[in-house]
Chain A
Amino acid sequence: MIHISKLTFRYPASETDVFKNVNLDIEKGEFVLFCGASGIGKSTLLRCMNGLVPHFSGGEILGDIQVAGLNPITASPKVMSRQVGFVFQDPETQFVLDRVEDDIAFSLENAGIPPDEIRDRVNHILALLELSHLRNRTIFSLSGGERQRVAIAAALAFSPSILILDEPTSQLDPQSAEEVLQAVIRIKESLQLTVLLSEHRLDRVLPYADRIIYFKRSDGEVISGSVREILPQMAFSPPVVKLGKQLDWSPLPLSVTEAKSFVSQYHSEHKIAIPSNGKKKHHKPLLKGEHINGGYNGKLVLDDISIEIKAGEILVLIGLNGSGKTTLLRTLVGFQKPKSGQVWLDGREITAGEPAEICRDVGYLPQDPNSLLFAEHVQDELTITLQNHGMRNTNGWTDELMRQLDIYELRGCYPRDLSVGQRQRIALGAILVTRPEVLLLDEPTRGLDPDSKTALEKMLKEWRTQGKAILLVTHDVEMAANLADRVILLQDGRVVSEGDPAYVFTQSNQFAPQMVQLFPDTGWLTVQQTLDGLEKDIL
């Protein structure tokens, strides 16, 4: 179906090739995963398949490429759109019209297809993606997962034979991601599609993939093979896979379900009674919220919540969408006034405070750090915050902070040209420059590739050692497993569970790291802990 031979591409005004001499063959009906660090060329290669590269992007391209019998380079994206449906990353900008069925019909209208046929196709696709009940809604009223499903529906309007998805779930929370990926798997079967999917969150799709195409770092090399062949060679893989690799489990388990059969080997009586509030380190609570009741539009979102964020500790807040996590953060910082309750910062009440004031001492990283950045140069982003607070840049503090965040070399660059991970670090710089002792991070892992996530984890651990009080709101349970000193589980605006990570994770079905799912009642959260624990057990 897809044959690529010696494909080389370079962006306009660039001196290096994005990829060189790539050879690839994909058969009809395959489900292929594209993996590798961000910015390495996966997206570019995918866009070659429907002609967006080079028609939309410009640049120089060499080599041969055949997709569904057409050559995307000579044919245009217009022609390719009949054979290839493309789904992009951002659920906010993938539509043209605001009503669901209008947007799906848009491409069909453009092609001059008779209205009756349009109606049939739209109905068919809506049913396929379980969107029929949403057909009259505006896209802005939908959740991220629903929006991406609409994007998939629109991509399928012409009944293409190939569906390409470029990181479709990176901006979504786990529920929505699950929704979308399940939908993809389902329609692949019913429509007999060839699916190319680029993803970081492999754990959900690994069992369904036929092949992985892996972009090795730096040398632009691309390797391809079956899932179990390639996985061991990849730098990042789900914890279950890492564990299996270490323990030489064969065939390599791809999911928790597959791994369970191996676990029975390890008759572990290593059951520890997990106390609800483990080793309680005595730290000073820096930011406190007491009996907070809050909401808006007549809805009670926060129901009698009390929370303490202590110095030298990372507190992780988990919960489903709509459980009140972001509202809680915003209340703590002053963007929303609670109906009742108080917020204390280091002994001072700040319940009625102004966010601009509070944020000098409480660093708050919002979900979309893009809205923070507008300066011409990276270093200006830091100095502007200082200016806003009327503080001065003494002794090269901004330079030092930039070095800590690994953005010093980028200090003269235009922030919005940089990658997601880099922009996040710049945003962190902008809020850390006032040396706050408390840090609140709202979903910092959104859109981050594994490399950037590791870097972020490292930084958070570093700041914890420095004595900062850190509150981390995240969906990424594996990251939470790596970092958390304490975990709070929020549901419907109430604290449902609080305390030691092992305890909280074991309690909850939806938020258990893979190690907890495999070895419940052991208290092991990470691969390393499991390996250590098993070693102790065996000896």
Chain B
Amino acid sequence: MHTYSWLVWTAAALICISVTRNPLYLILFLFVLQIVYLMIAEQGDEAQLFVNPIKFTLFVVFTTAIFNVFTNHFGDTVLFTIPGKIPLLSGVVTLEAFVYGMTNGLILSGMLTTFSILNLALPMRALVHLIPRAFYPIAIITSIAITFAPETRRQLNQVREAQAVRGFRARSVKDWMPLAMPLLIGGLERSIQVAETMTARGFASANDVHIPNIYRLSILGGLLMLIGGWIVSVTSSFQYLTFGLLTLGSVGVMIAFWWIGKQTPRSSYKKERWHISDFFIILFSLLALLPFVWDIPGISRETLYYVPYPRLSVPPFEPITGTLTLGLLAPAIIFLITKTYAKERST
């Protein structure tokens, strides 16, 4: 699957999750995300930290609920009261606060699960390739770091053994010196060799490229607009002005980067290919996104906004929205199809 389709999917998921506070939709999201996660986790990188997603979600939801219950004292359904004048803690502990906190947890774990899926789905190198061309020195530095980081751990073992050979045992923090210093010095020396290799292969320094002031001005202008947009958003509620300023500002900055990227003569060896499955993923992600950001006649957008205060009530639910949400399952389904197809082919 193409990197860009994953990005579209992620963006759709994040926007949907952040727009609504209705626990029913959020639980639906989490359900969808868990399925995608479990599908994708089978092909993930072993180097990554693996956390049981369901346990993790429950943990997050519960913790944030507890946190909110003890710090916000509003609502009509009182469970019990904390006496005294302890700052932050004293006050009524209500069911509404619990639900509100739980909602925070659902949103948070939804976002975290989405990112976990992204991490699993995209290999390291694909993410490095996403770095815009204007930043290619950083891309190279990151590439070198990723290449040599695993080696560093192997070097550490080698150093540890070498020091043991002269009778050294690591007993306390101070004893890490004979291990850390050869590692550092070795790394410094090796970097020179890598630099020499790069130079011998014709690596050009970025000093060659001169950036005309106009593009710097564009960046500066963009930044100022962004600052303006921020000021507007916190001092008033002119939503469209905020939105406009923020968008314009971002565009201003991006254009400068895009142009500068075009100046550096670099090409990319690996080109990703688009498949029909990418089309489907993007389509369904956008469909899922639709009811959350657009006012479609006949679909109630009110259901997205739910507040447990002051008195707890059953949250509303719009079935069409719920169905479209299932569109986020697209990657999981595609994955399932390819897996069964591959199995069939091998038998």
A209 to B123, CA, bound (A): 47
Digitize B192-217: 1 where CB-to-A-CB distance is under 8 Å, 0 elsewhere: 01111111111110000000000000
Can you name 6 A-B residue pairings with CB atoms under 8 Å? A96-B147, A107-B203, A157-B201, A359-B164, A369-B162, A431-B166
Within 8 A of B (CB), among A322-361: 333, 335, 354-357, 359-360
A86 to B197, CA, bound (A): 8
Is B161 part of the binding interface, using a Cβ–Cβ cutoff of 8 Å?
Answer: yes
Q: Which of B159, B161, B197, B271 contacts A96 (CB 8 A)?
A: B197
Is B299 part of the binding interface, using a Cβ–Cβ cutoff of 8 Å?
Answer: no
Q: Which of B162, B167, B168, B194 contacts A366 (CB 8 A)?
A: B162
**Which B residues touch A355, using CB under 8 A?**
161, 164-165
Digitize A347-386: 1 where CB-to-B-CB distance is under 8 Å, 0 elsewhere: 0000000111101100011101111111000000000110
On whether the beta carbons of A109 and B266 are closer than 8 Å, the reply is: yes
Is A78 part of the binding interface, using a Cβ–Cβ cutoff of 8 Å?
Answer: yes
Shortest Cβ distance from B166 into A: residue: A385
**Which B residues touch A364, using CB under 8 A?**
165
**One of A14-22, A48-56, A176-184 at the interface:** A48-56
Least distance between A34 CB and chain B CB atoms (Å): 17
Tell whether A92 pairs with B190 under 8 Å between CB atoms, given A114-B267, A371-B162, A388-B168. yes
Binding site for A on B (CB under 8 A): 125, 140, 143-144, 146-147, 150-151, 155, 158-159, 161-169, 178, 181-182, 185-186, 189-190, 193-204, 264-271
Binding site for B on A (CB under 8 A): 50, 52, 55-56, 77-79, 81-82, 85-86, 88, 90, 92-99, 101-102, 105-115, 118-119, 122, 140, 151, 154-155, 157-158, 333, 335, 354-357, 359-360, 364-366, 368-374, 384-385, 388-389, 416, 430-431, 434
On whether the beta carbons of A86 and B267 are closer than 8 Å, the reply is: no
On whether the beta carbons of A374 and B147 are closer than 8 Å, the reply is: no
A115 to B269, CA, bound (A): 5
Tell whether A115 pairs with B267 under 8 Å between CB atoms, given A88-B196, A140-B150. yes
On whether the beta carbons of B167 and A140 are closer than 8 Å, the reply is: no
Q: Which of B147, B185, B267 contacts A109 (CB 8 A)?
A: B267
**Which B residues touch A416, using CB under 8 A?**
185, 189
Q: Which of B143, B167, B199, B265 contacts A388 (CB 8 A)?
A: B167
Shortest Cβ distance from A430 into B: residue: B166
**Which B residues touch A56, using CB under 8 A?**
195-196, 199
**Which A residues touch B178, using CB under 8 A?**
374, 384
Shortest Cβ distance from A98 into B: residue: B147
**Which A residues touch B271, using CB under 8 A?**
115
Shortest Cβ distance from B200 into A: residue: A86
**Which B residues touch A372, using CB under 8 A?**
162-163, 165-166, 182
Q: Which of B151, B185, B199, B204 contacts A52 (CB 8 A)?
A: B199
**Which A residues touch B196, using CB under 8 A?**
52, 56, 88
Q: A-B pairs with the 7 shortest C-beta distances? A: A112-B265, A81-B202, A371-B162, A388-B167, A93-B193, A107-B201, A385-B166
Q: Which of B125, B197, B202 contacts A95 (CB 8 A)?
A: B197
On whether the beta carbons of A97 and B143 are closer than 8 Å, the reply is: yes
On whether the beta carbons of A371 and B182 are closer than 8 Å, the reply is: yes
Shortest Cβ distance from B169 into A: residue: A356
Shortest Cβ distance from B155 into A: residue: A371
**Which A residues touch B163, using CB under 8 A?**
371-372
On whether the beta carbons of A93 and B194 are closer than 8 Å, the reply is: yes
A140 to B153, CA, bound (A): 13
Q: Which of A77, A90, A107, A360 contacts B167 (CB 8 A)?
A: A360
**Which A residues touch B144, using CB under 8 A?**
96
Tell whether A434 pairs with B167 under 8 Å between CB atoms, given A118-B269, A355-B161. yes
A18 to B189, CA, bound (A): 22
On whether the beta carbons of A77 and B199 are closer than 8 Å, the reply is: yes
A277 to B119, CA, bound (A): 63
Q: Which of B147, B199, B202, B203 contacts A97 (CB 8 A)?
A: B147
Q: How many contacting A-B pairs (Cβ < 8 A)?
A: 157
A55 to B198, CA, bound (A): 13
On whether the beta carbons of B265 and A111 are closer than 8 Å, the reply is: yes
Interface centre among A97, A107, A110 (most CB of B within 10 A): A110
Q: Known pairs A52-B199, A374-B181, A374-B182; list 19 more (Cβ under 8 Å).
A: A77-B199, A77-B200, A81-B200, A88-B200, A101-B269, A107-B201, A108-B269, A109-B266, A109-B269, A112-B265, A115-B271, A355-B165, A359-B166, A366-B162, A369-B162, A371-B186, A372-B182, A384-B166, A431-B165
On whether the beta carbons of B203 and A112 are closer than 8 Å, the reply is: no
A97 to B143, CA, bound (A): 6
**Which A residues touch B270, using CB under 8 A?**
102
On whether the beta carbons of A93 and B201 are closer than 8 Å, the reply is: no
**Which B residues touch A354, using CB under 8 A?**
164, 169
On whether the beta carbons of A77 and B194 are closer than 8 Å, the reply is: no
Least distance between B53 CB and chain A CB atoms (Å): 29
Shortest Cβ distance from A440 into B: residue: B165
**Which A residues touch B193, using CB under 8 A?**
88, 90, 93-94
Tell whether A98 pairs with B268 under 8 Å between CB atoms, given A77-B200, A373-B182. no
Least distance between B264 CB and chain A CB atoms (Å): 8
A93 to B197, CA, bound (A): 8
**Which A residues touch B151, using CB under 8 A?**
92, 140
On whether the beta carbons of A105 and B165 are closer than 8 Å, the reply is: no
On whether the beta carbons of A55 and B199 are closer than 8 Å, the reply is: yes
A99 to B143, CA, bound (A): 11
**Which A residues touch B159, using CB under 8 A?**
371
Shortest Cβ distance from B179 into A: residue: A374
On whether the beta carbons of B201 and A356 are closer than 8 Å, the reply is: no
Least distance between B37 CB and chain A CB atoms (Å): 27
On whether the beta carbons of B167 and A389 are closer than 8 Å, the reply is: yes
A370 to B162, CA, bound (A): 9
On whether the beta carbons of A105 and B185 are closer than 8 Å, the reply is: no
**Which B residues touch A114, using CB under 8 A?**
267
Least distance between A49 CB and chain B CB atoms (Å): 10
A95 to B270, CA, bound (A): 18
On whether the beta carbons of B203 and A110 are closer than 8 Å, the reply is: yes
Tell whether A370 pairs with B186 under 8 Å between CB atoms, given A96-B143, A155-B201. yes
A385 to B271, CA, bound (A): 54
Shortest Cβ distance from A416 into B: residue: B185
Shortest Cβ distance from B182 into A: residue: A374
**Which A residues touch B164, using CB under 8 A?**
335, 354-356, 359
On whether the beta carbons of A388 and B158 are closer than 8 Å, the reply is: no
Least distance between B311 CB and chain A CB atoms (Å): 60
Least distance between B323 CB and chain A CB atoms (Å): 42
On whether the beta carbons of B204 and A96 are closer than 8 Å, the reply is: no
On whether the beta carbons of A366 and B265 are closer than 8 Å, the reply is: no
**Which A residues touch B199, using CB under 8 A?**
52, 55-56, 77-78
A122 to B270, CA, bound (A): 12
**Which B residues touch A101, using CB under 8 A?**
269
On whether the beta carbons of A96 and B140 are closer than 8 Å, the reply is: yes
Shortest Cβ distance from B151 into A: residue: A140
Least distance between B131 CB and chain A CB atoms (Å): 13
A114 to B270, CA, bound (A): 11
Shortest Cβ distance from A86 into B: residue: B200
A78 to B208, CA, bound (A): 12
**Which B residues touch A77, using CB under 8 A?**
199-200, 202
On whether the beta carbons of B194 and A388 are closer than 8 Å, the reply is: no
Least distance between A73 CB and chain B CB atoms (Å): 15
Shortest Cβ distance from A333 into B: residue: B165
Least distance between B155 CB and chain A CB atoms (Å): 8
A430 to B162, CA, bound (A): 11
A388 to B168, CA, bound (A): 6
**Which A residues touch B146, using CB under 8 A?**
98
A81 to B197, CA, bound (A): 11
**Which B residues touch A88, using CB under 8 A?**
193, 196-197, 200
A263 to B269, CA, bound (A): 56
**Which A residues touch B186, using CB under 8 A?**
370-371
A218 to B44, CA, bound (A): 59
Interface centre among B151, B162, B178, B181 (most CB of A within 10 A): B162
Q: Which of B155, B161, B181, B266 contacts A110 (CB 8 A)?
A: B266
